[in-house]
Structure 1
Amino acid sequence: MFLSRTLRLFRPEAVLRTLAPPCYLHTSASQLNSNRATIACIPRQKFARVYPVLMVRPDGSTIHIRYKEPKRILMMPIDINTLPEAQRKARLRRREVSKIVVKEDVQFEDDFSLDDYRKFWKKK
């Protein structure tokens, strides 16, 4: 009987009760459950937000997709190598920078003379 009482004192719960309780002033218990997500945000590079967008394919067909940017219409580029020669040349011509037409300055002839107005500049 005496032996069982002394062994009860060496149980882990009894030993922890006899020691000084730890001070949790500046620490908090970690919660490893679903409530942790409501307290802290998860750092991520890309967010899961996508927007409904109408995508137009090169053949003219349209489909609705989910896209990372809010746009109304997303047009896919046309492969120039698959076009007929006449259409390919027309598209390449439209891509070229048009030559800028420089307007020539028109020189007006006038009979303005500064000497006619010098009398107004002199102080009296």
Structure 2
Amino acid sequence: MIPWLKFVERATTRPHVSQLLVKALQTQVRTNAYRASLGRISRQQFLLRYPATLLRPDGSTVEARVAEPRQVIQLAVDLKTLSEDERRQRLAARKPKAKKIKKEEIDDNFDSNEYLSMWAGDNVDKGAALAAADQTASQSAKIKSKRKKSK
């Protein structure tokens, strides 16, 4: 077959531009989950939206979809609509509470002589072990006196 004849055959089998436009207009493309600006989302499962209960100040509830997983979202109460007593109670609950001062007591009544038998074996001189225990006791007494002076 002649090469230029192949070119002519291929050109005749290709669809015309107008045929491509008709196909493009006939196909329906849906880019997101919204069909209209008003209404609800038509998909049952929509990515990154979690069902939550919206609690209004009057006690009524509405199901809503939110970006973060929450069970209940409570709307704020308008203080102007409350009675004087309820308004005072709510404002008092918002104020920061006074912090209780904790008095820290250090109970330092450690006696190293009680534990002398644990680290003093048969071949260790008991007198040296007692001297070491007395030294640790005197160090703890010094620390105790420094703490009392700093207070």
Tell me the TM-score normalized by structure 1: 0.46
Q: With CA pairs under 8 Å and 6+ residues apart, which has the higher RCO, 1 or 2?
A: 1
TM-score normalised over the length of structure 2: 0.39
Query: Which one has the bigger helix percentage?
Result: 2
